[in-house]
Amino acid sequence: MRVLLTGGAGFIGRHVHHQLLAEGHDVLVYDSLRPDVHRTRPEPSDDLIVGDIRNAEDLRRALPGIDTVIHLAAKVGLGVDLDDIDDYVSTNSLGTAVLLRELAHANLRHLVYASSMVVYGEGRYDCDRHGQVAPGPRRPEDLDAGQFDPPCPQCDEPLRPGLIAESAPLDPRNAYAASKLNGEHLAASWARETGSRVTALRFHNVYGPGMPRNTPYAGVAAIFRSALERGEPPRVYEDGGQRRDFIHVHDIATAVTTASGALPHQPPFTAYNVGTDTVRTIGDLATELAHAYQGATPIVTGQYRLGDVRHITASSAKLRAELSWKPTFDLRNGLADLLASDVGVPTNG
């Protein structure tokens, strides 16, 4: 199978590229090499097209002979402030729209779309009195008072967080989240209108070898690792109790390649959560990283970012059942793999 891999020179993209090649596929990488992601440019090669996902002319050069497209190219992260909002919309929403239009013209009919768990907003919550409920956005006055867990919107009592399924309502709460959900909607519309198939993978918190360094757009694992490398303690926002699902990038890569070979009888649009189904906290991650790197004890700051959500962990049962995928790393051996990669010692999952 010949695969076009957009964003293939990035953190996740490089691992997906490696996995595709290991499975015997022919891969063409398409990447803009944007400077807020790439501090150095890779050497020119026949299997790399440097192009912006919003540039239809560049895309047309890439599409002949392609069987499947894996769309990872995106501006990622929560963002620094609202000055980022137009870049998220332009890169993620408009970029996806241009790609879909060109896929239609090229008569390509299968897309794997890298989505994110951020499309849910907050995760699943249950109230002892009112059952499953959807809390509203957290209030600055509560966060300022150190009240980080959202209460029941009906009775104001504490809630029990749980695992969210793909059928849950979607409620993006920052510009990045909104742009990723918009990409899902655009792709679903394209699939219906062209008789195509979209497999949307809602990645959870990804870490592993090759994580970005020293950028405010990196994930929390990369930010903590960069602090430890500078000899500083990881700074943990809120009280460190935010529930997350941390998944090794190798497991993300195998989920992507598995989805790229999904059966043709799938419906026009299918979304899958991609996580380990193991709940850990951001405080756990900081502590595990500090231990692995023999670094300073994490500091819990009580600070917050209004666009963050408190708890978001998902069930990946659907992906396991329908595509026979499963993760191979837990957090401890995944962080050991990250540490080994930093010192040049390869390990196996």
Q: What per-residue confidence (pLDDT) applies to 306?
A: 86
- CB of 154 closer than 8 Å to CB of 130: yes
Say how many CA atoms lie within 13 Å of 186 toward its Cβ. Answer: 22
Token digits of residue 292: 């692995």
Instruction: Tell me, yes or no, whether 143 lies in a domain.
Output: no
SS3 of 5-44? EECCCCHHHHHHHHHHHHCCCEEEEEECCCCCCCCCCCCC
- CB of 229 closer than 8 Å to CB of 293: yes
pLDDT at 279 over 70: yes
Q: Find the domain containing 247 and state its range.
A: 2-124+162-341
- CB of 88 closer than 8 Å to CB of 277: no
Return the residue matching tokens 């980080």.
148
Q: What is the mean pLDDT of residues 123-139?
A: 93
Taking the C-alpha atoms of residue 173 and residue 178, their distance in angstroms, rounded to an integer, is: 7
Plot region of 139 (φ>0 → left; ψ -120 to 50 → alpha; else → beta):
beta
**Strand 280-281, strand 243-244: pairing:** antiparallel
∠ CA 6-269-186, nearest 5°, is 60
Amino acid occupying residue 329: F
Instruction: Tell me, yes or no, whether 147 lies in a domain.
Output: no
Q: In 10 A of CB 143, how many CB atoms? A: 18
Q: What per-residue confidence (pLDDT) applies to 71?
A: 98
Instruction: Tell me, yes or no, whether 204 lies in a domain.
Output: yes
* Backbone dihedral angles phi then psi of residue 240, each to the nearest 5 degrees: 80, 0
Q: Which of 56, 63, 58 is nearest to 106 (CA)?
A: 63
Q: What per-residue confidence (pLDDT) applies to 136?
A: 85
Percent composition of the chain: helix, strand, coil (DSSP 3-state, to 5): 35, 20, 45
pLDDT at 347 over 50: no
Structurally, the chain folds into a number of domains equal to 1
pLDDT at 185 over 80: yes
Instruction: Tell me, yes or no, whether 303 lies in a domain.
Output: yes
Q: What per-residue confidence (pLDDT) applies to 346?
A: 35
pLDDT at 77 over 90: no
Taking the CA atoms of 328, 332, 335 and 339 in sequence, report the sign of the dihedral they define. negative
> Could you tell me how far CA 29 lies from the centroid of its own chain?
19
Amino acid occupying residue 253: A
Token digits of residue 343: 């010192």
pLDDT-above-90 percentage for the chain: 82
CATH number for the domain including 82? 3.40.50.720
Q: What per-residue confidence (pLDDT) applies to 43?
A: 73
Instruction: Tell me, yes or no, whether 132 lies in a domain.
Output: no
- Pick the more confident residue, 264 or 335: 335
- Pick the more confident residue, 1 or 77: 1
Q: What is the mean pLDDT of residues 23-34?
A: 96
Question: Model confidence over 215-258: pLDDT tens digits?
Answer: 666 788 999 999 999 999 999 999 999 999 999 999 999 999 99
- Pick the more confident residue, 347 or 163: 163
Model confidence at 304, pLDDT cuts 50, 70, 90, reads very high
Q: What is the mean pLDDT of residues 74-88?
A: 84
Instruction: Tell me, yes or no, whether 146 lies in a domain.
Output: no
When the pLDDT of each residue in the chain is averaged and rounded to a whole number, the result is 92
Which of 49-63, 148-162, 212-226 is the least confident region? 212-226
Q: What per-residue confidence (pLDDT) applies to 131?
A: 96
Instruction: Tell me, yes or no, whether 299 lies in a domain.
Output: yes
